[in-house]
Structure formats: structure tokens, C-alpha cells
Amino acid sequence: MKSKIVITVLLLVASMFANADIGNTATQQTCLQTGTKAPNNNTTWANGGLNRALDRQVYKRDIIAYKIKWSSGWSGWYVKGVNDLYSLTTPSGAMSTNVDARLVWIYFYDHEHMYISCS
């Protein structure tokens, strides 16, 4: 099951890197899946909003999919730019009707997580 998910994610991402020359390995991405990562307490994640470049800023890698460990167990895979918009929002201020849109990876700050990334 895990390998099917990884293959599906990699196929989704393949279109992003379609301009790479298949015969030239220098242009190909190298991807890997991490083991469980501890919460990193880096406030960049918690304050990142919709910034999809935080992965490159913090980990210096392009995260393509990730999981969060909730109190009830591991989430399914979130694929960056596909299904990772956080469904709950936080009001911007006490009297404000504005809300802050965020990505699920805000929880890298205080939850265990794992990810598939490419360099």
C-alpha cells in the first residue's frame, strides 16, 4: 500500500518536472521519504500561511507529500498543492471577519511528521 501511494505521488509530481531530459541524469530529481521527524518548533511553519516555499526555506528540499501524526494516528498523505489546504481557519483579530488560510504543514511546528522530498 505504501509503495502504491509513493508511486502515485511521484507520478503526480512527474508532470511538474516534465522538462527534465530523461537521458541526462544531471537534470533528474532525487527523491526520498524520511522517517518520523520530531516537531521542529520552528515558528516559520506556524506563521507560514499559504507560502508553498517554506519547505525549501526550512529543509532546503522540495517536499512533494507529507503526513502528520495526530493524537489518533497518522494522517493520509497530503500532496503539496493538491489537498493540503487546512480546513480550519483562525480569525485574524478579535473583531475581524477575515480569516487566515493556511496549509496543513503548519503542524510541522508541534507534531511529528514525515515527508517525501526531492532535491
Question: pLDDT per residue over 13-70, tens digit each?
Answer: 555 555 555 566 677 778 899 899 999 888 888 888 888 899 998 888 899 999 999 9
pTM across the whole model: 0.69
**Are residues 116 and 33 in contact, defined by beta-carbon separation less than 8 angstroms?**
yes
Rounded distance between C-alpha atoms, residue 9 and residue 97, angstroms: 36
Segments forming the whole domain that contains residue 47: 2-15+32-118
Q: Is residue 21 part of a domain?
A: no
Q: Is residue 25 part of a domain?
A: no
Q: How many domains is the chain partitioned into structurally?
A: 1
What are the C-alpha distances in Å from 45 to residues 16, 36, 55, 99, 106?
24, 17, 9, 17, 5
pLDDT(93) > 80? no
Q: Is residue 79 part of a domain?
A: yes
Q: Is residue 99 part of a domain?
A: yes
Q: Is residue 20 part of a domain?
A: no
Q: Is residue 69 part of a domain?
A: yes
Lookup result for grid cell 526531492: 118
Q: Is residue 50 part of a domain?
A: yes
